[in-house]
Amino acid sequence: MDIYQSWLVEKFIAHRGFFDNENQIPENSLLAFEKAIENGYAIELDVHVIADGTVVVFHDNILGRMTGQDGYIGQLTKDDLSKYHLLDTEQTIPTLQQVFDLVDGKTPILIEIKSENLKVGADETKIYELLKEYKGEFAVQSFNPFTIEWFKNNAPEITRGLLSSKFKKDENNPKSWVKRYALRHMTFNKRSKPQFIAYNVLDLPANILKGRKFKGLPILGWTVKSQSQYMEVVKYVDNIIFQDFKPSI
């Protein structure tokens, strides 16, 4: 696939669906994905593999922000999901299979695999079992270069991308400086061979993206939150992952 001629470049991508957390359309919900389809956007979503091996669509590791309940997403089973309502709505945590059944090829899906494990394979295999049966357009991405390497080696037919940023040290990013340096400079790209880069727009322009090892790789900007911000970063990126507004060219 020529990515420059594909939906990854040509179709705006709605971050966690076309959601509005303040108006009863929770992020990463079936309703948010329906709204993305209605508005003609591709969908970005996040997946975890939970305790019984089910692949679910949810961003955080901790349940509290979106469900108001204590606990970790990874400790749930499929039977638990209906008990966890998103932001006091009727929407519950969906499985990836439910999303596939809903979308059914109506719009492309960009799937972020949430994993920080150095030892990969188990979760990626479970995700791949679903992906290879889905007939619609999709791609995968992750901050974890070893996840991307797994897809290169075991599912090379699937388009794969690496998420990155400057990884500044703060309370939300407590990684060691060695790990932050490796991720910031994408030192594992030679092994993982991503086919596109998704980069934090707050860190643009980024000199590293001008380097030779990124030549020919499309750049997606995440997460753009206004039309004015889009106009500021459009010269640095090939497409955007957006939320909170309707982008226009």
Q: What's the confidence (pLDDT) of residue 213?
A: 76
pLDDT(62) > 60: yes
| CB atoms closer than 10 angstroms to residue 143 | 18
pLDDT class of 80 with cuts at 50, 70, 90: very high
Q: CA 2, CA 228: separation in Å to the nearest integer?
A: 29
Dihedral pair phi/psi, residue 57, rounded to 5°: -105, 110
Q: What's the confidence (pLDDT) of residue 167?
A: 87
Instruction: Please name each of the domains of the chain with its CATH number.
Output: 3-242 (3.20.20.190)
Q: Which of 69, 59, 52, 75 is nearest to 26 (CA)?
A: 59
Per the CB < 8 A criterion, the answer to whether 166 and 181 are in contact is: no
pLDDT class of 84 with cuts at 50, 70, 90: very high
Residue 113 makes CB contacts below 8 A (sequence gap 6+) with 47, 123, 124, 127, 140, 141, 142, 144, 147
Q: What's the confidence (pLDDT) of residue 124?
A: 98
Q: What's the confidence (pLDDT) of residue 175?
A: 64
Q: What's the confidence (pLDDT) of residue 174?
A: 52
Give per-residue pLDDT as tens, 13-60. Answer: 999 999 999 999 999 999 999 999 999 999 999 999 999 999 999 999
What value does the mean pLDDT of the chain take?
95
Identify the three-state secondary structure at position 235. coil
Give per-residue pLDDT as tens, 198-224. Answer: 999 999 999 999 887 788 899 999 999
Q: Which residues of 194-210 are buried (b: 16+ CB within 10 A; e: fewer)?
A: bbbbbbbbebbebebbe
Rounded mean pLDDT, 66-75: 98
DSSP structure class, residue 45: E
Q: What's the confidence (pLDDT) of residue 173?
A: 61
pLDDT class of 185 with cuts at 50, 70, 90: confident
Identify the three-state secondary structure at position 35. helix
Residue ranges of alpha helices (H) inside the chain are: 7-10, 30-39, 64-67, 96-103, 122-131, 145-154, 177-184, 189-192, 227-233
